[in-house]
Amino acid sequence: MQEYDYILLPSAAIAILLFLFSFKSPTLLLSIHLLYRSLIDSIPNYTYIKLAGILSIAQIYSVVYIIIFFSYLLFRKKKLITELTIPILSYLLIALISTIFSDYWSGFFQFSIKWIYFYMIFLISLNVASSKNQVQLSKITIIFSFYPIINQILYAIIQGPKCIEGQSICSYIGTYYHESELSSWIFIFLLGSSIGIGYSKKYRFIFIAIFIIGIASLLLNNYRTATLGFIIYLFILYLLNIKKINPFISIGFISSMIAIFTLLLTVYYDIISIYIEDIIEFITNPTKYIDIDGNVARSELFSGRLYLFNLILSEFVKNDIYTYFIGMGPGIIDTLIGTFAHNEYLSTIVELGFIGLILFIWLLWRSWYIMKAPDNKIYLSMFFCIIVTALATMPFHDIRGVILFALILGYSKGESIRTFNKLNK
């Protein structure tokens, strides 16, 4: 990607100046970080290169910002211990125990970086949200997650779509590595615009227009799991607000959902037909496609996911009994079969055992408890969207998905703190 070379040096100089300026407040620190992260993700030919042994430039960047965030919070005497501290430490502990037995340390380092990074983003966003109202949070989130969409649209005009060889799937992802990475940034953008729609009466129509831009970007991205996740998000948001919604607005929402569903049915008709055929085939002959002994023939049923699950579980059951409890080691699945599980919960069982799954569910439960406190339906809906789509993809494996999760948690906790402080003035 030589077209980037001539702008790297001046961009780096500007980046350093912005970085130094960002230490003035947690808001600037979080905002500049989101911008840098989206820029780094957009040049994977550079930033995904392994430099320090097992770590890429992007991963080293995460480590650097872990240190920066921690130092900032420590020297500013901000709170470091929260309801998530013990669940996160417990989750890291089972990963360490699993790694000691499996001796797969590269996976552990990447796993640890990801979850410590998540916790730091959570703490910083918590501090931002405790001092900013929801409309301000909306603006911050939109502005500093807008670059990926600009990148996508610009390269859609210049280069056209990226097509997967051997498949009829084409998507507009700009210079990003994969549809899943861009979709996480789009969801962060949609989160910001959703907050604006919900809390800004004065500029609501502007935020609706921004929200529509996000939907268009999501459709251009053409990542089916993300599109399904977005529908889940809207549906849950509607259910959680159904008692408060004006009947006319409710009718408009239902009509819009029917229109969106009809559009998606038209666009994805061939794919949906295949999935319906897959369901019928599986129900009529399940034993043909389920065999964790590793004897099942390769099948493209459900886009090959069922075969993938069989293959992963067959590797899992080959091991000693203790593996069922502590797993085979974080990150081991990619090494064994050359791809990911495409199911967050299955991945957790295989890599960290049933103890790891229990701790992961505990972490999710504590997260839900944080988001339940301010009763913010937008954050709750996005939370349920993430945990449901985790059945078919890996939102907690991808660092951008982790950022999205940390933001909704931090914003929720910050809103609770801000409301408490306001009531006790």
pLDDT digit string, tens, across residues 249-289: 666 666 766 776 676 667 666 666 666 766 676 667 666 66
Q: How confident is the model at residue 378 (pLDDT cuts 50, 70, 90)?
A: very high
Look at residue 371 in the predicted model and tell me its pLDDT.
87
Average pLDDT over residues 343-363: 93
Look at residue 294 in the predicted model and tell me its pLDDT.
57
Average pLDDT over residues 361-384: 90
| Cα angle for residues 329, 334, 337 (degrees, 5° grid) | 110
Decide if 13 is inside a domain: no
Cα–Cα distances in angstroms (integers) from residue 367 to residues 19, 121, 127, 128, 375, in the given order: 30, 14, 17, 18, 13
pLDDT at 124 exceeding the cut of 70:
yes
Whole-prediction pTM: 0.88
Average pLDDT over residues 54-58: 83
Decide if 289 is inside a domain: no
Per-residue model confidence as pLDDT tens digits over 130-166: 989 899 999 999 999 999 999 998 888 888 777 655 4
Average pLDDT over residues 224-248: 81
* Cβ 299 vs Cβ 306: under 8 Å: yes
Cα–Cα distance measured from residue 111 to residue 322, given in angstroms and rounded to the nearest whole number: 21
H-helix or E-strand spanning residue 170:
strand 170-171
Both tokens of 92, joined, read: 């890291």
Decide if 281 is inside a domain: no
Per-residue model confidence as pLDDT tens digits over 11-29: 554 555 556 556 678 888 8
Per-residue model confidence as pLDDT tens digits over 172-229: 888 898 888 999 999 999 999 999 998 998 898 999 999 999 999 998 888 888 888 9
Q: Please report, rounded to a whole number, the percentage of residues in the chain having pLDDT higher than 90.
A: 36
Cα–Cα distance measured from residue 246 to residue 344, given in angstroms and rounded to the nearest whole number: 37
Question: What type of residue sits at position 23?
Answer: F
Cα–Cα distance measured from residue 23 to residue 19, given in angstroms and rounded to the nearest whole number: 7
Cα–Cα distance measured from residue 286 to residue 408, given in angstroms and rounded to the nearest whole number: 39
Look at residue 421 in the predicted model and tell me its pLDDT.
80
Look at residue 4 in the predicted model and tell me its pLDDT.
47
H-helix or E-strand spanning residue 56:
strand 55-56
Look at residue 80 in the predicted model and tell me its pLDDT.
93
Closest CA to 126 of 364, 417, 384: 417
* Cβ 138 vs Cβ 131: under 8 Å: no
Closest CA to 124 of 8, 31, 39: 31
Give residue 419's domain range: 85-275+332-423
Comparing 320 with 243, the larger pLDDT belongs to 320
* Cβ 5 vs Cβ 14: under 8 Å: no
Average pLDDT over residues 122-127: 95
Comparing 22 with 240, the larger pLDDT belongs to 240
Closest CA to 141 of 155, 125, 117: 125
Q: How many domains does the chain have?
A: 1
Supply the mean pLDDT for the chain.
Answer: 83
Question: What type of residue sits at position 338?
Answer: G
Instruction: Pick the range with the lowest mean pLDDT from 93-107, 234-248, 333-347.
Output: 234-248
pLDDT at 318 exceeding the cut of 90:
no
Decide if 291 is inside a domain: no
Which alpha helices (H) appear in 222-343, and where do they start and end? 224-241, 247-267, 269-284, 305-317, 323-326, 332-337
Cα–Cα distance measured from residue 208 to residue 193, given in angstroms and rounded to the nearest whole number: 7
Look at residue 108 in the predicted model and tell me its pLDDT.
92
Look at residue 355 in the predicted model and tell me its pLDDT.
95
Cα–Cα distance measured from residue 70 to residue 78, given in angstroms and rounded to the nearest whole number: 10
Decide if 31 is inside a domain: no
Look at residue 13 in the predicted model and tell me its pLDDT.
46
* Cβ 349 vs Cβ 327: under 8 Å: yes
Average pLDDT over residues 308-334: 83
Look at residue 292 in the predicted model and tell me its pLDDT.
63
Decide if 191 is inside a domain: yes
pLDDT at 72 exceeding the cut of 60:
yes
Decide if 6 is inside a domain: no
Cα–Cα distance measured from residue 268 to residue 224, given in angstroms and rounded to the nearest whole number: 9
Look at residue 81 in the predicted model and tell me its pLDDT.
93
Decide if 91 is inside a domain: yes
Comparing 393 with 90, the larger pLDDT belongs to 90
Cα–Cα distance measured from residue 144 to residue 225, given in angstroms and rounded to the nearest whole number: 24
H-helix or E-strand spanning residue 197:
helix 179-199
* Cβ 326 vs Cβ 352: under 8 Å: yes
